[in-house]
């Protein structure tokens, strides 16, 4: 980090802002933007990475041109990046999501699963349904996307749950417009894949809310949204439905994507089952971690990563098909790897590009060039390392400059 700027020293002047990166510095959320600075009068070997807070206004204005803007991104997007995908998540990537002990008492929702389902529900899914269908009644007035997310947050705080719901999307959404699971263009068949994992019989991991969430969401989409029984696929570990193993979840997802046609709508629900984070293995995550869902047989067959969800849900989503997904699990904010984000913390006035999202890597992943992109980044990093270690602080003035300054101040 550079010392306080001395206006008398030219060496402290920014010559050029060379590069931008996003750096995670401390748990849980000590991340910030950094910029590679070339200092006036010094060679490139003396460049240093500086946090955004260290830059003066003129340097900051130049620095921010290195980051994507919504206009730039939208003007360069291919059709693959314009798919209609919307996701509501339970919490931040580093945070955990909660169960509620009794959905009937806390959220005025049916205890559809009964005592064998544990009476509970996921806090995120239950809060959304309590707004859309409390006491099996729809709201008398239309609510905007912003109002829905903010009401979810206020409901959670009241109960009290500390998690902050998030809404992410492939495309920018005007959050002041009327909330709906799907746009008006979704006039075709409505399909759903809903997964509830309570890890029944697993003492270390057993939950109590997943089955109620699935059954209550099923009731809502059938009675209010017009979904037909034949187009709803349920995976639950209740001994009655298809077991939510990794293989079965992937199969159900791929099948619903194959069946979908233009103007169809798909609802994907993963409720209360555990979510987790694992070390990123392909270089597309700025924070170094992939988010993942945890199937019933995870101990034998592993997790389903966010990269996997992209491959099975988004990559082959047909043109003109709309998808709404809800993930009520821990570490789920960016589990669908979507570039636009709106948080329920009442700090955002509109949906924006997620500043923590690795947009360049995302574009390369979509175009199939991620491996080459990461390799090029690593090669450039190794080249810089081989050229000599970077100074960690602002370079001192040269001897000649020091002498000149001393003479001027005598």
Catalytic residue positions? 274, 330
Whole-angstrom Cα distance, residue 135 to residue 309?
A: 33
CA angle, residues 214, 219, 220, in degrees to nearest 5: 100
**CA 119 distance to own-chain centroid:** 29
Question: What tokens were used for 84?
Answer: 């209609």
Question: What tokens were used for 370?
Answer: 């991620």
CA angle, residues 93, 349, 331, in degrees to nearest 5: 10
Coil vs helix vs strand at 153: helix
Question: What tokens were used for 62?
Answer: 């130049």
Select from 161, 25, 168, 22 the least CA-distant residue to 95.
Answer: 161
Whole-angstrom Cα distance, residue 89 to residue 341?
A: 11
Give the orientation angle of helix 359-366 with respect to helix 370-387, to 10 degrees: 140
Question: What tokens were used for 116?
Answer: 């064998």
Q: Hey, how many other C-beta atoms are within 10 angstroms of the C-beta on 319? A: 11
Total residue length of the chain? 410
Question: What tokens were used for 195?
Answer: 């997964």
């Amino acid at each position: 980090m550079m010392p306080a700027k001395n206006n008398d020293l030219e060496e402290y002047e920014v010559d050029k802002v060379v590069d931008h990166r996003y750096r995670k510095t401390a748990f849980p959320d000590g991340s910030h933007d950094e910029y590679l600075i070339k200092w006036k009068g010094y060679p490139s070997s003396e460049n240093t990475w500086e946090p955004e807070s260290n830059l003066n206004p003129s340097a900051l204005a130049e620095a921010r041109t290195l980051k994507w803007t919504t206009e730039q991104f939208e003007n360069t997007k291919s059709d693959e990046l314009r798919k209609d995908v919307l996701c509501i998540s339970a919490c931040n990537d580093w945070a955990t999501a909660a169960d509620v002990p009794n959905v009937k008492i806390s959220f005025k929702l049916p205890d559809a699963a009964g005592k064998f389902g544990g009476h509970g529900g996921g806090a995120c899914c239950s809060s959304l349904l309590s707004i859309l269908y409390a006491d099996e009644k729809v709201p008398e007035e239309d609510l905007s996307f912003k109002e829905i997310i903010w009401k979810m947050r206020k409901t959670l705080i009241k109960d009290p749950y500390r998690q902050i719901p998030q809404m992410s999307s492939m495309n920018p959404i005007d959050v002041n417009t009327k909330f709906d699971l799907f746009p008006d263009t979704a006039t075709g068949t409505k399909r759903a894949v809903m997964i509830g994992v309570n890890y029944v019989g697993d003492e270390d991991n057993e939950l109590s809310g997943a089955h109620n969430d699935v059954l209550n969401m099923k009731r809502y989409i059938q009675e209010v949204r017009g979904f037909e029984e034949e187009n709803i696929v349920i995976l639950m570990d209740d001994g009655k439905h298809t077991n939510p193993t990794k293989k079965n979840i992937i199969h159900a997802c791929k099948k619903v994507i194959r069946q979908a046609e233009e103007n169809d709508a798909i609802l994907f629900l993963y409720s209360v089952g555990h979510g987790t984070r694992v070390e990123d293995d392909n270089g597309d995550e700025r924070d170094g971690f992939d988010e993942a869902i945890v199937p019933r047989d995870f101990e034998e067959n592993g997790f389903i990563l966010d990269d996997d969800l992209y491959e099975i849900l988004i990559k082959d989503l047909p043109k003109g098909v709309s998808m709404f997904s809800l993930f009520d699990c821990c570490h789920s904010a960016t589990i669908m790897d979507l570039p636009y984000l709106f948080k329920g913390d009442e700090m955002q006035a509109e949906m924006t590009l997620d500043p923590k999202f690795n947009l360049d890597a995302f574009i390369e992943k979509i175009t199939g060039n991620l491996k080459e992109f990461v390799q090029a980044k690593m090669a450039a990093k190794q080249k810089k390392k081989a050229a000599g270690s970077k100074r960690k602080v602002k370079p001192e003035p040269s001897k000649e400059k020091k002498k000149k300054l001393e003479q001027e101040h005598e």
